[in-house]
Structure 1
């Protein structure tokens, strides 16, 4: 989606902005003696977007300024007196791209598709994309040759005529503070107080005039909604309205979530009586509904496009009641729980006896075997590709059998994979996911898989809001990353520190539940309903890259196996990604709507 663009014409720099998104407050343009800034999203606080844009411009507009990046969900272009800066926040929810040739940038946009040429695609990108659903937004590659991504937390500096001067990655704040020593670290109560404060701040920053909170009846979303209700009741977030957004299922496995949802709604409204429940009947929604539209019209291939019908239904209802921001509980599973890769740190530092003791506690608390725990959190992070290759050999009887995160899917042609660096892409992706210190890489990786943000971004022009995730706020992540496992792990009680932090607000039935029903039923129903359509989509695909890249009949066999319930979460992710890529390539020729007319700008205008 093309919300913001920058062009050079006859020596003049020109901004292009979406008129609809500017009117909605999603794009903010400000000027000062330091220059002009166009910001998509919000900086500092979602309530006062002009002030945040001015603060960003003032901080970076000074000669030689190199300040830390403020928090927020934003992509920004700053035209200063002596340079141009392209900036994205650390969470990287809002995209930003530039097209470069010969060391000179000739266009900037929030849409890679608007900058690229549909006939000049980069096959390396597709190999990287197919290694797993984290492999797009944290890499420079885009589907289009010559189009580059501004990375999360990065500042790209250009001259006033577009010459690329430097790209400065920002040090990630959450990785700067190592975990406190176990003996001297905080206990559960102190850790909970730290998390509560950080989470309250994160929720408060994201609240708008009319804030929607997605409520599912789980610990995570209920915690966010309760904090929002408390902040409004105490006027700490200023005046505003609260909408409680939920999907209701009266049949299937997900119907068992309804009692928890009712309890959550009642408790939230006890703190904010004026909160408006918006309950969306989702019985007729299935994964893969209108899949060609959801997967084909987005700016890049979207691995989670199969789940777009459910989220899209909720987003439409939030838009109907005029919400200007939507908060979720996404990200709490990896962020607010004890870090299992602490076991890897013990192993690599030679503390094998302590590692074994703690691994036994993890195994007992999660009802898993000791061998499974050691394999998942010690062996696999050390040798990810080898571990997956061994598993594939043991479980190779079906197309989906043994298919992990980095293994080459059997339907991806080996010749294409060799020619365009699939193995190198798998190695690079495994290094990102696990890194030299998996206990820190966990937080980096979680940022890119925890929420269905591409859907929120694609729909923002119509909906009038962005989805935002308080648990992925840099302050929250930094808080959890420095806490020792001794202060966060309680066998058999996931996210113990979060439950303790919310003990005064969470109702007991929700605080005490350790397992939440997943959306497997929605996925299975979608495959039963749309399996034939997906197979037909693959077989009728005309884009030449699809036949070059995929063994289409093998891909169709994988769809049939998934319909029968074969495979696991890893293999289904790989299948979903490939199907989304097929739909995306087929619809590539259709462009987005035009932006408003280009407006010339200059520093200090």
Structure 2
């Protein structure tokens, strides 16, 4: 989807913005003596989008200025008198791409597909994509030769004629230091207070005129909705409407979530009586419904397209009510739970006795063996590719999905294609991103891309009028959790202990005490039972030449059959889902019109 576009005519930059998205407030244009800024998304807060855009232009428009990037979910183009700046926030929710050749940029857009029309497909990108579902957002590569991604937290400076002057990673301002002083151990309750304050600020920044919260009955989404309701009720947020959005399953395992959902809704409405409850019937849905559309139409292959039908129905309900933001509980699992990769730090620094003691506590709290805990959080982060290869050899035993982890080449990806186009190099890069030199810190960077992959929200934004937003992935929340010692966050048998304590005065007892939530496995299994044969037929009938060059289709179809029988694990399913989405994307590439919405000229600088 193209929300903005920058091109050059006669050596002068020409900037356009999508007219419909500008009317909805999703694109904001401001001008001053320093130049003109077009911001897709929001800077600072959803409510003050114009003020945030003006602040961005004021900070970066000054000659020689190099400030830190502000918080928000945005992509921005600033056309100043002496230079052009392209930037995205650190968490990279809104895409931004440039088409470059010989050190000169010829066009900038939020749509890679629009920039890449007619360009050759870049096979290196597909190797990067297939290493795991975190690969896309932090790689410059795109599916199209000559089209590059501007990375999260990056500022690209161009001359007014489009010459590239530099690409500089910038960081958001550090959040307020947590109350627990370094080296003193946690004070009772202080960690919870820090997290509560950070979450309140994160929710407040995302409160629009009509905000929606997805409520599932779990601790995470209920916490966000409760904070939103309380902020409105106490006047700490500007007056506005609040919609409580949830999906209802009348049968099957997911129907067991209904009592928790009812209790969550009752408590939220007690704090915010004016909140409107919207229950969407999703009992007839299955994963992979209309997979050709959800996987084939995005700008880039969408690894989580199989789950798009569920979110699409909820998004449509929120759009009908005129919501301008939709908040979720995504990101809480990796961000506000105890960080098990702390064990790697203990082993790395020679504290083996302490590591062993804490590994036993982790094992007892998670009902796992000590060997499994050490393997997952000490050995695998140290030797990720080797650990995956050994695991695959031990567990595969004649199956396609057995033992397939995050980085190893899936058996349906042809070895010749992988060697020719850098699959191993991509796997090394991905493993370094996921674990890094300090895996306990890399967890938070990787969580941003793993917890909330939402290309669906971006693709639907023009018709829905909002972007999906995730308070748990707010930089301030992550900064608080990053600095807390392990002793403050780990409570055996009680996941997300700090969050539960932080929300103790708001969460109803039944939800505050629950440790297990029903997963969406039934929706996935039903989707494979319903659409498995269709998926295999679509793969076998694919005509794009790259499909046969890249995949052994019969081996991929065998993986679909195994997944339908319940063979494999979540990692294996992710790899198969990503590959199926890529087949559909390639097959529909020639059928996609790529038509853009109506645009309006923004500036014509000389």
Give the TM-score category using the shorter length.
over 0.9
Give the corresponding residue for 1:45.
Answer: 45
Secondary structure class of the residue paired with 2:589: coil
Query: Aligned-pair distance for 1:588?
Result: 1.1
Q: Name the CA shift for 1:242/1:419 in 2 (closer, same or farther; >3 Å).
A: same
Give the corresponding residue for 1:168.
Answer: 168
Give the corresponding residue for 2:13.
Answer: 13
Query: Aligned-pair distance for 1:11?
Result: 1.9
Q: Name the CA shift for 1:2/1:46 in 2 (closer, same or farther; >3 Å).
A: same
Give the corresponding residue for 1:298.
Answer: 298
Q: Name the CA shift for 1:175/1:414 in 2 (closer, same or farther; >3 Å).
A: farther
Give the corresponding residue for 1:592.
Answer: 594
Q: Does the CA-based 8 Å contact 1:173-1:478 persist in structure 2?
A: no
Paired residues for 1:335-414 under 5 Å: 335-396=335-396, 397-414=398-415
Q: Does the CA-based 8 Å contact 1:175-1:440 persist in structure 2?
A: no
Secondary structure class of the residue paired with 2:450: coil
Secondary structure class of the residue paired with 2:340: coil
What is the alpha-carbon distance in structure 1 between the residues aligned to residue 264 and residue 251 of structure 2? 20
What is the alpha-carbon distance in structure 2 between the residues aligned to residue 238 and residue 420 of structure 1? 52
What is the alpha-carbon distance in structure 2 between the residues aligned to residue 17 and residue 516 of structure 1? 43
Query: Aligned-pair distance for 1:594?
Result: 1.9
What is the alpha-carbon distance in structure 1 between the residues aligned to residue 119 and residue 533 of structure 2? 30
Q: Name the CA shift for 1:311/1:188 in 2 (closer, same or farther; >3 Å).
A: farther
Q: Name the CA shift for 1:176/1:41 in 2 (closer, same or farther; >3 Å).
A: same
Give the corresponding residue for 1:501.
Answer: 502
Secondary structure class of the residue paired with 1:82: coil
What is the alpha-carbon distance in structure 2 between the residues aligned to residue 598 and residue 503 of structure 1? 49
* Deviation by residue 1:450-496 (Cα, 9 ceiling, x = unmatched): 12411100000100000000000000000000000011110000000
Kindly indicate whether residue 257 of structure 2 is the aligned counterpart of residue 257 of structure 1: yes
Aligned length: 604
Give the corresponding residue for 2:220.
Answer: 220
What is the alpha-carbon distance in structure 2 between the residues aligned to residue 541 and residue 267 of structure 1? 50
Q: Does the CA-based 8 Å contact 1:175-1:481 persist in structure 2?
A: no
What is the alpha-carbon distance in structure 2 between the residues aligned to residue 270 and residue 497 of structure 1? 24
Secondary structure class of the residue paired with 2:157: strand
Give the corresponding residue for 1:555.
Answer: 556
Secondary structure class of the residue paired with 1:587: helix
Give the corresponding residue for 2:531.
Answer: 530
Paired residues for 1:86-485 under 5 Å: 86-171=86-171, 184-396=184-396, 397-485=398-486
Please, which runs of 5 or more residues in structure 2 have no aligned partner?
A: none
Please, which runs of 5 or more residues in structure 1 have no aligned partner?
A: none
What is the TM-score with the length of structure 1 in the denominator? 0.98
* Deviation by residue 1:109-147 (Cα, 9 ceiling, x = unmatched): 000000013550111100010000000011111000010
Q: Name the CA shift for 1:557/1:42 in 2 (closer, same or farther; >3 Å).
A: same
Give the corresponding residue for 2:512.
Answer: 511
What is the alpha-carbon distance in structure 1 between the residues aligned to residue 70 and residue 570 of structure 2? 36
Residue range with higher mean Cα deviation, 128-137 or 182-191: 182-191
What is the alpha-carbon distance in structure 2 between the residues aligned to residue 314 and residue 420 of structure 1? 39
Secondary structure class of the residue paired with 1:448: helix
Q: Does the CA-based 8 Å contact 2:158-2:165 persist in structure 1?
A: yes
* Deviation by residue 1:25-45 (Cα, 9 ceiling, x = unmatched): 101111011100000001001
Q: Name the CA shift for 1:69/1:119 in 2 (closer, same or farther; >3 Å).
A: closer
What is the alpha-carbon distance in structure 2 between the residues aligned to residue 304 and residue 334 of structure 1? 18
Q: Name the CA shift for 1:175/1:222 in 2 (closer, same or farther; >3 Å).
A: closer
Q: Does the CA-based 8 Å contact 1:282-1:310 persist in structure 2?
A: yes
Q: Name the CA shift for 1:246/1:315 in 2 (closer, same or farther; >3 Å).
A: same
Q: Does the CA-based 8 Å contact 1:185-1:483 persist in structure 2?
A: no
What is the alpha-carbon distance in structure 1 between the residues aligned to residue 200 and residue 33 of structure 2? 35
* Deviation by residue 1:46-92 (Cα, 9 ceiling, x = unmatched): 01111111110001000011111111110000001110000100110
What is the alpha-carbon distance in structure 2 between the residues aligned to residue 556 and residue 290 of structure 1? 19
What is the alpha-carbon distance in structure 2 between the residues aligned to residue 482 and residue 600 of structure 1? 43
Q: Name the CA shift for 1:592/1:174 in 2 (closer, same or farther; >3 Å).
A: farther
Secondary structure class of the residue paired with 1:532: helix
Secondary structure class of the residue paired with 1:298: coil
CA RMSD of aligned residues (A): 1.6
Q: Does the CA-based 8 Å contact 2:178-2:194 persist in structure 1?
A: no
Query: Aligned-pair distance for 1:592?
Result: 2.6
Q: Does the CA-based 8 Å contact 2:177-2:480 persist in structure 1?
A: no
Q: Does the CA-based 8 Å contact 1:120-1:145 persist in structure 2?
A: yes
Q: Name the CA shift for 1:235/1:178 in 2 (closer, same or farther; >3 Å).
A: closer
What is the alpha-carbon distance in structure 2 between the residues aligned to residue 103 and residue 351 of structure 1? 49
Q: Name the CA shift for 1:379/1:174 in 2 (closer, same or farther; >3 Å).
A: farther
Query: Aligned-pair distance for 1:591?
Result: 3.2
Q: Name the CA shift for 1:600/1:17 in 2 (closer, same or farther; >3 Å).
A: closer
Q: Does the CA-based 8 Å contact 1:400-1:561 persist in structure 2?
A: yes
Q: Does the CA-based 8 Å contact 1:264-1:507 persist in structure 2?
A: yes
Q: Does the CA-based 8 Å contact 2:365-2:494 persist in structure 1?
A: yes
Query: Aligned-pair distance for 1:178?
Result: 11
What is the alpha-carbon distance in structure 2 between the residues aligned to residue 155 and residue 320 of structure 1? 36
What is the alpha-carbon distance in structure 2 between the residues aligned to residue 67 and residue 117 of structure 1? 35
What is the alpha-carbon distance in structure 1 between the residues aligned to residue 169 and residue 316 of structure 2? 36
Q: Name the CA shift for 1:260/1:269 in 2 (closer, same or farther; >3 Å).
A: same
Secondary structure class of the residue paired with 1:212: strand
